Amino acid sequence: MIKGKVASIGIGIGKALILDDKEITLEFDKVENPALENLKFNQAMEASLAEINELYEQALSTVGIEKAQIFEAHSLILQDPEFLENIYLEINENHHKASYAIDIVSRRFMEMFQQIENDYMRERALDIKDVSHRLLKKILNINSVSLKDLSEDTILIAQDITPSQMVNLDLKHTLGIITEFGGKTSHTAIMARILELPAVVGARGITKFIKTGDLIAMNGDSGEIFINPDKETLHRLMEEKRKIDFQKKELQSYRDLPTTTLDKRCVQLEANITSPLDVDSVLKNGATGIGLFRTEFIYMDREFPPTEDEQFSIYKSVLERMQNKPVVIRTLDVGADKKIPYLKIPNEENPSLGLRAIRYCLKNKSIFKTQMRALLRSSPFGNLKIMFPMISKLEEVLILKEIISECHLELRQEGLSFREDIKLGIMIEVPSAAIMADLLTSHVDFFSIGTNDLIQYVCAVDRLNEEINEIYDPLNPAVLRLISHVIKVGEETNTEVSICGEMAGNEKMTQILLGFGLSKFSMNPSNILRIKKLIRVLHFERARVVSKEVLNLPSSSEIKNYLNSAHDKINQLSKKS
């Protein structure tokens, strides 16, 4: 057994496939005609640049903008003056072949990087390797082993897996990843977690101990790697994997079942996402739509805001993949705990009550309009709904509508198409908006209750302050009453209401919310099937009774007790009647 570093959890069992087990063989012969080698190199460079641009686009729609930027750096490396100068020098002065020149120069740079005493920087040597391998393959006409079409369950093993390999994996057959180098911050580790692929990194010497075709059992939770494990070990790991898979599968059997209570009340379960990559798990978990796409993550970990075209292609790809199922995209919700340095929000005494979300957007119209134009342009590609965060008064909604009209006008003048019938909604997360929900209904098409912030504002408690986190309480009667009020307003005015905060995915809250009349829940994709399973054994009329009783209880502890015994109580009631 070999142990590496935990990078992404889960158990993987499959045949080993070692990448790069054959080093590319290079000819050391000197050349007579450097001009030919220069030409070869230039052609390889152009072809590689085109490929890198393609990978950038591909990454943008699969792993998101942050990881896609790796390929921007690759493009800079490929055109780097020192890199090029060194290569031309090897070709023209030392009469090396282009391939050999690339190899020695990239090794030279990688060595420099590997000496840096900083994990993050050291791992950047891999970027150079990725770029130089691409060049070499072009020159030597080598087609890389396709990782896209594997025929059996495979554990990929490599010294390192490059970002371009990661975005090209066959996720049906790739069941795990083991690398010799890298740590938790390596691209491989980060991307594996996004893809929910078990991964162990930093397993020194692993490529020497394992041969392609060996049976590998790996445990991403402990970092353990077993090579051709004995029956007992294999059995134990398979058993564990079977348990995990069984739970997943058992829930998976609910995927295509309707979400209805025993007395036939229909409920919509939608998903919260933060990147286009999450769409896979949205579909896998049978969500009826996307109830919250948090766009701020598109803005994070970069040096300047995403352009209109970048955003357009992200929104379009999500809408297309959701095939006309509703997709609620929330405009930029920055500020408080979500920091985006280049937006230069000043340090505030009280950031959660400060310049954030829609308040920031209304004061920085050009950033907001860029997003709005991208959203409008993406609208013909699916069922887009737009939602605004942190609304606290009607005037904000009115100004937003004016800005949208401006965008309409501009787009029409530019001859760009968009839909005019997009549904507009607001987050109900500020108490003022919740209290006057009835006054807002005639101005918007839907509400989505953001319980995380609503609880914080109703209870006046900083949700990140651990000293007082017992005050942050979803069962505080005031919180429940306010939520019930908003849902009731929705029912009375025929305004769609959903909940997209943590509360929606919390099994303990499902019955109360259902009883309040909520018929749309939006949550992390991984919670959907659990909640669906629960709703299918609940009784709507009973939930009505429970929630009514709950609203009359004076404290959260009594509510908790009541809920714990609610089941028995209602059973007794139903027996009496």
Partner 1 sequence: MEKTFRILNEEGLHARPAGAFVKLANEFKSKVEVRANGITKNGKSIMALMSLGLTMNHEITIIVTGEDESEAMIKIEDLIENKFKI
Which residues are marked as active site? 187, 500
Q: Is 341 in the site for partner 1 (CB under 8 A)?
A: yes
Read out DSSP for 265-295? -B-EEEEEESSGGGHHHHHHTT-SSEEEEET
User: Of all helices (H) and strands (E), which one includes residue 13?
Assistant: strand 11-18
Contact predicate 299/332, CB 8 Å: yes
Read out DSSP for 124-145? THHHHHHHHHHHHHHHHTPPPP
Give the span between the Cα atoms of 509 and 473, in whole angstroms: 12
User: Of all helices (H) and strands (E), which one includes residue 524?
Assistant: none
Q: Is 258 in the site for partner 1 (CB under 8 A)?
A: no
E strands, 282-343, in order: 290-294, 326-330
Stretch of residues binding partner 1 (CB under 8 A), selected from 54-62, 79-87, 151-159, 535-543: 79-87
x/- mask, partner 1, residues 134-173, rule CB under 8 A, reads ----------------------------------------
Of the candidates 2, 9, 31, 73, which one interacts with partner 1 according to CB under 8 A? 73
| Closer by beta carbon to partner 1, 113 or else 562 | 113
Of the candidates 20, 90, 103, 127, which one interacts with partner 1 according to CB under 8 A? 127
| Closer by beta carbon to partner 1, 25 or else 347 | 347
Q: Is 347 in the site for partner 1 (CB under 8 A)?
A: no
| Closer by beta carbon to partner 1, 297 or else 381 | 297
| Closer by beta carbon to partner 1, 125 or else 201 | 125
Stretch of residues binding partner 1 (CB under 8 A), selected from 1-9, 27-35, 67-75, 220-228: 67-75
Of the candidates 149, 256, 303, 421, which one interacts with partner 1 according to CB under 8 A? 303
Least distance in angstroms from the C-beta of 112 to partner 1:
4
| Closer by beta carbon to partner 1, 128 or else 497 | 128
Contact predicate 267/289, CB 8 Å: no
| Closer by beta carbon to partner 1, 83 or else 381 | 83
Least distance in angstroms from the C-beta of 98 to partner 1:
18
φ, ψ of residue 326 to 5 degrees: the values are -60, 140
Q: Look-up: residue for tokens 């939770």?
A: 221
Q: Is 353 in the site for partner 1 (CB under 8 A)?
A: no
Of the candidates 77, 426, 428, 475, which one interacts with partner 1 according to CB under 8 A? 77
Least distance in angstroms from the C-beta of 151 to partner 1:
36
* Total binding residues toward partner 1, as defined by CB under 8 A: 27
Stretch of residues binding partner 1 (CB under 8 A), selected from 120-128, 228-236, 459-467, 530-538: 120-128
Q: Which residues, 6+ apart, have CB-to-CB distance to 403 below 8 Å? A: 365, 368, 369, 372
Stretch of residues binding partner 1 (CB under 8 A), selected from 25-33, 70-78, 135-143, 424-432: 70-78
Q: Is 298 in the site for partner 1 (CB under 8 A)?
A: no
Contact predicate 220/11, CB 8 Å: yes
**Closest alpha carbon to 125 in 136, 135, 115:** 115
* Cβ neighbour number for residue 316 with a 10 Å cutoff: 20
Least distance in angstroms from the C-beta of 48 to partner 1:
16
Q: Look-up: residue for tokens 């950047």?
A: 124
Q: Is 70 in the site for partner 1 (CB under 8 A)?
A: yes
Q: Is 175 in the site for partner 1 (CB under 8 A)?
A: no
Q: How is the beta sheet containing 5-8 ordered, strand by strand?
A: 2-3, 224-227, 215-219, 11-18, 154-158, 174-179, 199-201, 5-8
User: Of all helices (H) and strands (E), which one includes residue 252?
Assistant: helix 231-252
Contact predicate 297/322, CB 8 Å: no
Pairing of strands 5-8, 199-201: antiparallel
Q: Is 304 in the site for partner 1 (CB under 8 A)?
A: yes
Q: Is 118 in the site for partner 1 (CB under 8 A)?
A: yes
CA 471 to chain centre: 30
Of the candidates 67, 124, 129, 330, which one interacts with partner 1 according to CB under 8 A? 124
Read out DSSP for 26-60? ------S-HHHHHHHHHHHHHHHHHHHHHHHHHHH
Q: Is 83 in the site for partner 1 (CB under 8 A)?
A: yes
x/- mask, partner 1, residues 88-117, rule CB under 8 A, reads ---------------------x--xx-xxx
Binding site for partner 1 (CB under 8 A): 69-70, 72-73, 76-77, 80-83, 109, 112-113, 115-118, 120-121, 124, 127-128, 302-304, 341-342
